[in-house]
Structure 1
Amino acid sequence: MANDLRAARIQTVKDHMALECVHEWDKVLDTFQHPRYEMHASGAVFDGRQEVMEYFHTSRAAFPDLRNDIIAVAAADDSDTVLVEFWLEGTHRGAFTVNGRTYEPTGRTFRVRMAASFEFAPGSDKIVCERPYSCQDAKLRSLGLL
């Protein structure tokens, strides 16, 4: 992969993650060739504009100030994937359901270290899939609910 494409992909990931923090959903969707999230912890897949928008709104209902702080970004020359390590933070303001159990709002904040891979269309700086990786119970532990 040429340095300019690698740099463009890294910038796309940075822009994507920054836009998520400020709820610029249409602009987040513009970073995709086809919107798709595959959630490692739960196995849930959100495919297409409508499902991804529903994911954005549902995930922010429990944590309206959900935000990320990028620690590191890396891209290899021979891959269509960009890897990111980041802190995910938010305040528990709405009902949060994990493993079939619902936790009512506590007003507490959480901070968990996560990683995500962003797969790109070949030869493009447009994302075809984001795959966040975390432990499903990490937020609960950080909130003091486990």
Structure 2
Amino acid sequence: MTQDLAARRLQTVRDHMALEVTHDWDGVIATFDHPRYEMATGAVFDGEAAVRRYFDLSRTPFPDQGNEIIAIAHDGDSVLVEFWLTGTHTGPLRVAGKTVEGTGKAFKVRMAASFEFAPNSDRIVCERPYFDGTAVPRALGLI
């Protein structure tokens, strides 16, 4: 693998994450070869329609959801990122089988994600966020 391809992949991930913050969903989709998220919960959002549904679901409770990269590294056909996930709970959120209306409380939790690339490509084939599913509700004081 060339240094140039590694640098392009790192930039693709930086761009992808920045576009998520600004809700430029067309731009986010364009960073993929094939849009796909595999969540730590086991949920999979495969294909453009499913990924756009994920964006809607995740931004409904946290319309200002953001991320702040802590560290980023390239490894083979993957880019690994550690980041702060931030947001304010202003919309309905499912917690422990119940819907909790917006509290106005903000959160900041540490997460990681891997971004997988097709060989010799700078387009993402899968994002896998890794997180403790209770971290955000705990940070909001909901559990």
Q: Fold-level match, TM-score > 0.5?
A: yes
- The one of 91, 97, 103 aligned to 1:100: 97
Long gaps (5+) in structure 1 = none
The residue number in structure 2 matching 1:144 is 141
Alpha-carbon RMSD across the aligned residues, in angstroms, is 0.8
Q: CA–CA distance in 1 between the matches of 2:83 and 2:100?
A: 25
Displacement, 1:107?
A: 0.5
Identity percentage of aligned residues: 62
Give, in whole Å, the separation in 1 of the partners of 2:96 and 2:120.
Answer: 39
- Using the alignment, how far apart are the partners of 1:61 and 1:144 within structure 2? 19
Offset, 1:104: 1.6
Deviations 1:93-127 (A, max 9, x none): 01111342322210000100000000001100000
Equivalences, count: 143
5 Å-filtered alignment, 1:1-146, equals 1-40=1-40, 42-76=41-75, 79-146=76-143
Counterpart-to-counterpart distance in 1, 2:5 and 2:91 = 40
Q: Residues of 1 paired with 2:98 and 2:115: CA distance?
A: 30
Describe the SS at the equivalent of 1:73.
strand
3-state SS in 2 of match to 1:125: coil
Amino acid at match of 2:98: R
Give the Cα–Cα distance (whole angstroms) in 1 for the partners of residues 18 and 98 of structure 2: 30
**Alpha carbons 1:90, 1:109 under 8 Å: kept:** yes
Deviating more after overlay: 17-26 vs 54-63: 54-63
Normalised to the residue count of structure 2, the TM-score between the two structures is 0.97
What is the TM-score normalised by the length of structure 1?
A: 0.95
Runs of 5+ consecutive residues of structure 2 not aligned to the other structure? none
CA distance in 2, matches of 1:85, 1:109: 20
In structure 2, C-alpha distance between the alignment counterparts of 1:131 and 1:29, rounded to whole Å: 15
Q: Which amino acid aligns with 2:114?
A: S
Preserved contact between residue 98 and residue 136 of structure 1 (Cα < 8 Å):
no
